[in-house]
């Protein structure tokens, strides 16, 4: 079983979010980029576990982006994985990202494609399902447990208002969230090994973007907190009813 | 034409789907067109007709017992069939666990641009530009969809749901589903019964490390029950297994936007705020006056959670008794 793990680079969770050029560009000055936590902690680590325990024969990492995405994919290789692929294309539009990944995956016959449930920057959570559609594969979203026996994958996942356990034959696309695996910390050996692992750059597919971000806005600032005495919860309830109108 | 996917639970449409129909109606009016809703599985005709009161002229109904289990491949096929039949220019669903699997598939199939998690109406004066959350709620982005067909998944609980007048016509639709569309075998389904699902809850009571341990959660649960609220928690709480991880809200957990978020014993780290700052009203109960969460709150109470929360529960009880 060959696994392809989709990796996205995102600003660090503590990064200050600011915009420049009249609020049309995300200001990356002073921002550290990390591997999207859902891709790293869950999708990548589970793929590595599946190789260590037997079912997977190869774990490849793929990212869509320009050369500035390479440090992050090297970081991912330090955790593990046999090789990485960077598809040299813009990563602004979910459809073109998915089309690029699907194009590559189709040509290289992966049995299982894993990704995080969403990236923490643009929060679209759409690339996994799009890749599945473009490859005509099943898609199981929001997995919290993934087991593989032979060619059958058993997945526990979140559905609207509950949980479901499914069995599905390979090939398949799964998006991962908490529960799938435990985050790992790269060790020195991994970091050294990552330097010499193959990182192939392939040209992007001929796909036109179908959406673009034209501007940003910060949420309105709160007007200030109204403190209520701990002995006066009746007052709080009254305010929630008559002022905030939420109960 | 605008096509909107509606979800039901045991034959009754979910409130968030009525919100999606109203959202579509608003757009349809501006574009001078009509709405067709797409319903799947076992729903009575009388229930489907009620979608007219939210703005739908027609409901396309695909009945197939296999659709009773959620399956993104089959659901997407039905939505695409409806969109093609109706020659839809805009296709709308919800940004929930169902919509997040179905709408990207629909968009990919039609090579259409997708706005995932819309929190505003399309601005037609600027092409087709829709506001959405980015950076886990720390900012908004405006996404312009440039393809002919546009796909939107609406963030639930963004707009109020108000019932109007009218009745929709119901038409059966054959979507050409085959066994290959149902190759996922469902082994087990467990749905939370009775309690409010967190993602669609209007009121949420959430606890953090300040509660000291899982044995103290009963005070939050009592408040939640009195309010009819869902319960949530911060990441350290979920990591320590005090609460199930499905309750974790924050940047690496769920993002919610209830009308009321009551945070008890949560300091308010930036990652936590990212998941909840779309809430309309925030109440913070904390014994640390320096807790950063107070800066993001509308109302604050300083003091020990174990004392304050039961008092608040009593006050809610008293208020409710007064209402009746």
In this predicted model, what pLDDT tens digit does every residue of B93-152 receive, in sequence order? 999 999 999 999 999 999 999 999 999 999 999 999 999 999 988 899 999 999 999 999
φ/ψ of residue A222, rounded to 5: -70, 145
Cβ(B254)–Cβ(B275) under 8 Å?
yes
CA angle B40, B46, B47 (to 5 degrees): 50
How many residues would you count in chain B? 324
CB of B233 within 8 A of CB of B177?
no
Question: Mean pLDDT across the stretch A66-79?
Answer: 96
> Per residue, what are the HEC states of A134-170?
HCCCEEEEEEEEEEEECCEEEEEEEECCEEEEEEEEC
Least confident of A6-10, A89-93, B2-6: A89-93
pLDDT tens digits, residue range A178-200?
899 999 999 999 999 999 999 99
Question: How many other C-beta atoms lie within 10 A of the C-beta of residue B236?
Answer: 15
**Relative orientation angle of helices B218-227 and B305-323, to the nearest 10 degrees:** 20
pLDDT class for B8, splitting at 50, 70, 90? very high
Helix (H, G, I), strand (E, B) or coil at B293: helix
For residue A230, list chain B residues with Cβ-Cβ distance below 8 A. Answer: 301-303, 307-308, 311
Cβ–Cβ of B103/A244 closer than 8 Å? no
Q: How far is A136 from chain B (nearest CA, A)?
A: 8
- pLDDT tens column, A89-144: 999 899 999 999 999 999 999 999 999 999 999 999 999 999 999 999 999 999 99
* Cα gap B67→B56, rounded to integer Å: 22
Q: Tell whether B266 is in a known binding site.
A: yes
- How far apart are the C-alpha atoms of B130 and B90, rounded to whole Å? 13
Q: A159 and B98 in contact by Cβ < 8 A? A: yes
Residues 12-31 of A with CB under 8 A from B: 13-14, 17, 19
Q: What is the mean pLDDT of residues B39-65?
A: 96
Q: B198-323: same fold as B2-182?
A: yes
> In chain B, where does DSSP find H-type helix?
15-31, 45-49, 72-86, 99-110, 218-227, 235-239, 270-276, 305-323
CA distance A142 to A117: 6
Per-residue pLDDT, A220: 82
Average pLDDT, chain B: 94
CA distance B97 to chain A (A): 6
**Across residues B161-172, what is the average pLDDT?**
95
pLDDT band with cut points at 50, 70 and 90 for residue A203: very high
Q: pLDDT exceeding 90 applies to what percent of chain A?
A: 92
Q: Per-residue pLDDT for B194 more than 60?
A: no
Long-range CB pairs of A236-244, under 8 A, 24+ apart, other chains included = A236/B283, A236/B299, A236/B301, A236/B312, A236/B315, A237/B312, A237/B315, A237/B316, A237/B318, A237/B319, A238/B319, A239/B299, A240/B260, A240/B281, A240/B283, A240/B299, A241/B319, A244/B260, A244/B280, A244/B281, A244/B298, A244/B299
Superfamily of domain B198-323 in CATH is TPP-binding domain (3.40.50.1220)
Domain ranges of chain B: 2-182, 198-323
Q: Average pLDDT of B249-271? A: 92
C-alpha atoms less than 13 angstroms from C-alpha of B81 in its C-beta half-sphere = 18
The band of B92, judged by pLDDT with boundaries at 50, 70 and 90, is: very high
Provide, as residue numbers in chain A, all residues whose Cβ is less than 8 Å from the Cβ of B111: 95, 210
Cross-chain residue pair A159–B103, CB shorter than 8 Å = no
B290-304 residue pLDDT tens: 999 999 999 999 999
What are the extents of the domains in chain A? 2-222
Enter the CATH code of domain A2-222: 3.40.50.620
Question: Cα-flanking dihedrals φ and ψ of residue B195, to 5°?
Answer: -75, 165
**Is residue A230 within 8 angstroms of chain B, CB to CB?**
yes
CB contact, 8 Å: A98 with chain B?
Answer: yes
Q: Does residue B197 carry a pLDDT above 80?
A: no
Question: What is the longest distance spanned by two Cα atoms in chain A?
Answer: 67
Q: Which pLDDT value is given to residue B303?
A: 96
Is residue B193 over pLDDT 80?
Answer: no
- A166 touches A155 (CB < 8 A): yes
Distance CA B126, CA B110 (A): 23
Token pair for residue B273? Answer: 């705020």
**The CATH number of B2-182 is which of 3.90.1150.10, 3.40.50.720, 3.40.50.620, 3.30.1360.20?**
3.40.50.620
Mean pLDDT confidence for A153-159: 95
What pLDDT does residue B199 have? 79
- What's the pLDDT score for residue A42? 97
User: What is the pLDDT at residue B195?
Assistant: 63
Residue A16 has pLDDT above 70, yes or no: yes
Taking an 8 Å cut-off on Cβ atoms, the answer to whether A127 and B192 are in contact is no
Using the Cβ of A226 and the Cβ atoms of chain B, whether some distance falls under 8 Å is answered with yes
> Averaged over A194-217, what is the pLDDT?
96
Residue of B nearest to A13 (CA): B271
Burial of A206 (0-12, 13-18, 19+ CB in 10 A): exposed
């Amino acid at each position: 079983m060959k696994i392809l793990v989709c990796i996205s680079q995102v600003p660090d969770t503590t990064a200050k979010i600011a915009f420049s050029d009249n609020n049309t560009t995300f200001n990356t000055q002073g921002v550290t980029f990390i591997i999207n936590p859902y891709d790293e902690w869950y999708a990548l680590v589970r793929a590595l576990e599946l190789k260590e325990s037997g079912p997977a024969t190869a774990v490849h990492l793929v990212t869509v982006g320009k050369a500035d995405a390479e440090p992050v994919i090297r970081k991912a290789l330090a955790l593990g994985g046999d090789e990485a692929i960077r598809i040299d294309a813009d990563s602004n539009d979910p459809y073109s990202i998915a089309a690029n990944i699907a194009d590559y995956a189709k040509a290289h016959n992966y049995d299982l494609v894993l990704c995080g449930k969403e990236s923490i920057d643009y929060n679209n959570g759409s690339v996994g399902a799009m890749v599945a559609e473009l490859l005509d594969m099943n898609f199981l979203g929001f997995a919290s447990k993934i087991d593989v026996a032979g060619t059958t994958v058993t997945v526990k996942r979140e559905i609207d208002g509950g949980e479901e356990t499914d069995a599905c034959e390979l090939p398949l696309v799964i998006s991962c969230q908490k529960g799938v695996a435990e985050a790992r910390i790269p060790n020195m050996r991994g970091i050294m090994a990552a330097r010499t692992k193959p990182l192939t750059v392939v040209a992007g597919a001929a796909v036109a973007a179908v959406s673009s971000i034209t501007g940003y806005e910060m949420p309105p600032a709160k007007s200030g907190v109204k403190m209520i005495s701990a002995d006066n919860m009746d007052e709080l309830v009254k305010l929630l009813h008559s002022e905030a109108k939420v109960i | 034409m605008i096509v909107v996917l509606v979800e039901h639970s045991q034959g009754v449409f979910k409130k968030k789907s009525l919100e999606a129909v109203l959202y579509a109606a608003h757009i349809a009016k501006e574009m001078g067109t009509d709405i067709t809703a797409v319903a799947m599985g076992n729903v009575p005709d009388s229930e489907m007709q009620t979608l007219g009161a939210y703005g739908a002229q027609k409901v396309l109904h695909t009945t197939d017992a296999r659709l009773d289990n959620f399956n993104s491949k089959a659901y997407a096929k039905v939505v695409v069939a409806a969109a093609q039949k109706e020659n839809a220019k805009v296709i709308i669903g919800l940004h929930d666990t169902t919509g997040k699997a179905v709408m990207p598939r629909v968009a990919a199939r039609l090579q259409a641009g997708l706005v995932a998690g819309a929190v505003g109406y399309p601005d037609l004066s600027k092409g087709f530009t829709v506001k959405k959350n980015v950076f886990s709620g720390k900012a908004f982005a405006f996404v312009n969809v440039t393809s002919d067909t546009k796909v939107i998944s609406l963030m639930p609980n963004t707009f109020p749901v108000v019932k109007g007048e009218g009745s929709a016509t119901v038409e059966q639709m054959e979507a050409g589903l085959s066994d290959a569309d149902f190759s996922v075998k469902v082994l087990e389904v467990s749905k939370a019964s009775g309690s409010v699902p967190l993602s669609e809850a209007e009121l949420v009571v959430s606890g953090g490390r300040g509660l000291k341990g899982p044995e103290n959660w009963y005070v939050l649960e009592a408040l939640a029950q009195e309010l009819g609220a869902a319960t949530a928690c911060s990441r350290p709480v979920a990591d320590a297994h005090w609460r199930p991880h499905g309750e974790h809200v924050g940047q690496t957990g769920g993002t919610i936007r209830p009308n009321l978020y009551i945070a008890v014993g949560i300091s308010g780290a930036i990652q936590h705020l990212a998941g909840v700052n779309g809430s309309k009203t925030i109440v913070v109960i904390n014994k640390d006056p320096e807790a950063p969460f107070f800066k993001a709150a509308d109302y604050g109470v300083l003091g020990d959670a174990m004392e304050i929360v039961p008092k608040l529960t009593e006050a809610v009880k008293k208020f409710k008794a007064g209402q009746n």
